[in-house]
Structure 1
Amino acid sequence: RPKGALTTHRQNLLTYRAWSARAGLTGEDRYLVINPLFHCFGYKAGVLACLLRGATMVLQPVFDVRRALRAVESERITVLPGPPTIYTELLDAPGRDRFDLSSLRLAVTGAAVVPVALVRRLRAELFPEVLTAYGLTESCGTVSVCSAEDDAETVALTAGRPIDGVEVRVAGPDRVPLPAGHDGEILVRGYNVMLGYLDDPEASAEAVDTDGWLATGDVGHLDAHGNLVVTGRSKDMFVVGGFNVYPAEVEQVLTGHGAVAEAAVVGVPDARLGEVGRAYVTVRPGAATGPDDLVGHCRERLANFKVPREVVVLAALPRNASGKVDKSALRTT
């Protein structure tokens, strides 16, 4: 059941001043807003950030890769944030080389697994700067952001460091902080944490404790440099023969295959093991691969229980209105 997260205007202003500073957004930028305005990505990291910095907004109501390429050329777009699928479509668009895209400066992505190979391609072919970020509606949309100086592995495999004034803790079931490198639930505290859920004090108390820590429901760890590594959502985790599997790790391996454009992994019922992984992938234009090849690719790089039992090749992955892969739809595919 959807819940309304209550945040104040002041909280959002502070959060997106910090986001804009970390991302390097300036009044000279021209920002193509393709994320929906009903979502934090389009409304807050888009409209609100542009108003705070005085950047020019160019709005595209519905994403279309050809129209986006034309807009970049004609409007001299410098900033183009979006989910990873947007960049895959831009990179693989037929006739991309016929457009002048030299104005592009900054890509900001997140909300899904970001392959290292995608970050490298983006930096080599389209954007000098590529950043990833992590957040949720209950934190005004942003918790952490990478920096322009971060290398491709850091950008792809982490969500950067907390924005100024925000704390991140990774804890076990007892809420005791875990050392770097150990997975646990991601907790957040700071000016960006919601006031609570609208008309739902019970859910509010479960989400935010008396010390102000927001339980995100996401799983991850902090690396040795303080970067947040998001392993996956607790609800996405599945259990294979008693072993926990987080789809993000498997998806990262699959998208490391040269022929794979995108990947999504879900748990499906199994009579012997309880659940096993099923992977859905799309293939890059002109590339060729198949289920056996991809299972073998995973078997060389993952523990046996993490290897998908089945790989399904699709023309496109189902998505919700904000561009995220709809895993509930995949489970019924």
Structure 2
Amino acid sequence: MADTLERSEVLVPPTAGPAEHVVGDVLRRAARLGPADPLVRTVTPHEEHAWTAAELLADAGRVAAGLLARHEPGARIATCLVNGPEAVLLQFGVALAGMVLVPVNPRSRPPELEHALRLSGASAIHAAEDAAGNPAADVAAGLAPGLPSLTEVHRCAGDWRALLSDPVAELPTVDPESLAQIQFTSGTTGRAKGVLITHAGMVATAHAFRERIGLPDGGVWINPMPLFHTAGNVLGVMGALWQRCEHVVVAFEPGRVLALVAERRATLLSAAPTLLDLLMARPEIGDTDLSSLQVVFTGGQTVLPGFAARVESTFGAPLVTTFGMTETCGSALLPAPTDPDEVRRTTVGRPLAGTDVRVAAPDGTPAVPGEQGELWVRGARLTRGYHQDPVATAAAIDQEGWLHTGDLAVMDTTGACRIVGRLKDVIKTGGENVSPEEVEEAVSGHPSVARAAVVGAPSERWGELVVAFVVPVPGAEIDTAELEQRCRDRLSPFKVPRAWRVVDELPMTASTKIQRAELRRMAASDPALSPTPAS
């Protein structure tokens, strides 16, 4: 790549890439290379178990044998599990058997789970009996009579050894371009879409992600990111395989995660911004030994510079924030931990190997550096599209293979991208466009504000008015007049919120993204919101 760009586009030439092409290959590589130390450790309230790479390969093969005794290669096998040994074994067992994993959020309500099972055509589901109070197995059993393709409901209560069968002599050959998973987008509007993910996409993304993180082989990776999303099961499970480090899989509970960082001498911690915020709020964090950490990884939502600086100060390690979607196997751009503070704290970095990136002007051509446009990505890790939804696929991926992300970005002359908003989230008021993230950054910088989200409320006169939802820091009181003056001091008048709403929490998706559609609905329908006249 040139040192400076004249247009906001980075085309990464294809490389030879790794010799491993399917999920099972990466596990076989780890088993072949060793070492004999634990590769994967699962920590639950009931049990802690660790596998070496060779042990995990053997047990995953036995899971595959059990699946092949009842299903043909290509069958859809759903999981509805919290982080734990069953989720890890089934991810690898399904892959070795040449079947398709359908990981579903274990807190899904019955209509959401039914939609995922019906659309994917799942033949079996392995569901938790108790997923943080949600009886997922009971829900699945109740849905089964109405789902002709679903012939098996397996109840999981920590008895992961029940998944193991006698090994088979030979497992099927798996095509790298075959489906590995159907993952469902969290979706802020409408029903979730089934994203088609290939073995080749998972392998390439995890490899490129691990290379950009830059840590040497070994170390300890603490991963509370849910394994039903790409951040957990592609970047985490597969990325740690490439690094051949001890990968500690744990369901998120702040005290437990902090204890594990100290006890296991973690070198990498991955957690969504919301989870990092919860960790930093723990009273014991000041007494927790975090000195072993070399990288903190996050993603899933825009991270403001002030928040990034607070994370780095608290954890004593550089924070790297990826831009990724389920449609890109979880990551497409990422800063390196060695990048300057300005790059790490204000951008999502540069394209990973094998990823083309364009910031597109309204006519589809590359914008000039510094000019805002829609972020497009293309490459081997891209989804094939949406399961049984050619209309949505065609709307998202154009004929040249570019995925139109719907995110607004600015690329600098080195190829680093800063996310500045969403096309559909842009507020149009009085003929001007307002980026919610820009207003949120101004509001969130106040010491009384823990989190803020900004949306547009319908206005006959102005088209939309800017409305701010604010979550106070525990024990603090919000002075909206003070916040308004802070915004006036930092923003053009048309960007200043005209109404303020103090709330205990913001509505979030399963992947910890703010549900702006729900906030827009609240702003439009709640009579308590009385916008002040625009000036």
Cα distance 1:210–1:54, how it changes in 2: closer, same or farther (>3 A)? same
TM-score by length of 2: 0.59
d(CA) in 1 for partners of 2:366, 2:288? 50
d(CA) in 2 for partners of 1:204, 1:317? 30
Pairing partner for 1:305 from 494, 503, 521: 494
Match of 2:212 in 1: 22
Q: What SS does the aligned partner of 1:174 have?
A: coil
Match of 2:291 in 1: 102
Match of 2:200 in 1: 10
Pairing partner for 1:42 from 219, 229, 232: 232
CA deviation digits over 1:268-322, x for unaligned, max 9?
Answer: 1223212112112223346554211111111111111111112323333232222
d(CA) in 2 for partners of 1:107, 1:314? 29
Higher mean C-alpha deviation, range 128-137 or range 283-292: 283-292
Q: What SS does the aligned partner of 1:95 have?
A: helix
C-alpha contact 1:115 1:256 (8 A) present in aligned 2: no
Match of 2:243 in 1: 53
Matched, 1:162 2:314: no
What amino acid sits opposite 1:34 in the alignment?
A: P
C-alpha contact 1:167 1:188 (8 A) present in aligned 2: yes
Match of 1:199 in 2: 388
Which runs of no fewer than 5 residues in structure 2 stay unpaired?
1-190, 523-535
d(CA) in 1 for partners of 2:220, 2:479? 41
1:181-220 superposed matches below 5 A: 181-220=370-409
d(CA) in 2 for partners of 1:192, 1:321? 23
d(CA) in 2 for partners of 1:208, 1:202? 10
d(CA) in 2 for partners of 1:170, 1:317? 30
d(CA) in 2 for partners of 1:128, 1:154? 15
Pairing partner for 2:303 from 114, 118, 122: 114
C-alpha contact 2:295 2:337 (8 A) present in aligned 1: no
* Percent of aligned pairs sharing the same letter: 39
d(CA) in 2 for partners of 1:26, 1:235? 41
Higher mean C-alpha deviation, range 292-301 or range 51-60: 51-60
What amino acid sits opposite 1:31 in the alignment?
A: W
Q: What SS does the aligned partner of 2:311 have?
A: helix
CA deviation digits over 1:64-112, x for unaligned, max 9?
Answer: 2222222222222221112212222222221322322222221112222
Match of 1:31 in 2: 221
Matched, 1:129 2:315: no
Which runs of no fewer than 5 residues in structure 1 stay unpaired?
none
CA deviation digits over 1:118-148, x for unaligned, max 9?
Answer: 2222222213221111011222221100111
What amino acid sits opposite 1:184 in the alignment?
A: G
Matched, 1:239 2:405: no
d(CA) in 2 for partners of 1:312, 1:95? 31
Q: What SS does the aligned partner of 2:310 have?
A: helix
Match of 1:91 in 2: 280
What amino acid sits opposite 1:68 in the alignment?
A: V
Higher mean C-alpha deviation, range 94-103 or range 294-303: 94-103
Matched, 1:277 2:473: no
C-alpha contact 1:92 1:284 (8 A) present in aligned 2: no
d(CA) in 2 for partners of 1:103, 1:151? 21
C-alpha contact 1:171 1:177 (8 A) present in aligned 2: yes
Query: Alpha carbon RMSD of aligned pairs, Å?
Result: 1.9
d(CA) in 1 for partners of 2:470, 2:393? 37
d(CA) in 2 for partners of 1:25, 1:316? 36
Match of 1:292 in 2: 481
What amino acid sits opposite 2:479 in the alignment?
A: G
d(CA) in 1 for partners of 2:407, 2:484? 27
Deviation at 1:28, TM superposition (A): 2.0
d(CA) in 2 for partners of 1:8, 1:16? 12
Cα distance 1:109–1:305, how it changes in 2: closer, same or farther (>3 A)? same
Q: What SS does the aligned partner of 1:35 have?
A: coil
CA deviation digits over 1:241-276, x for unaligned, max 9?
Answer: 221222111112222223322221111122321211
The number of equivalent residue pairs is 332
d(CA) in 2 for partners of 1:57, 1:265? 37
Which of these two proteins has the greater Rg computed from alpha carbons?
2
TM-score by length of 1: 0.93
C-alpha contact 2:205 2:235 (8 A) present in aligned 1: no
Q: What SS does the aligned partner of 1:308 have?
A: coil
d(CA) in 2 for partners of 1:147, 1:288? 38
d(CA) in 2 for partners of 1:292, 1:151? 36
Q: What SS does the aligned partner of 2:490 have?
A: coil
Deviation at 1:153, TM superposition (A): 3.0
Q: What SS does the aligned partner of 1:154 have?
A: helix
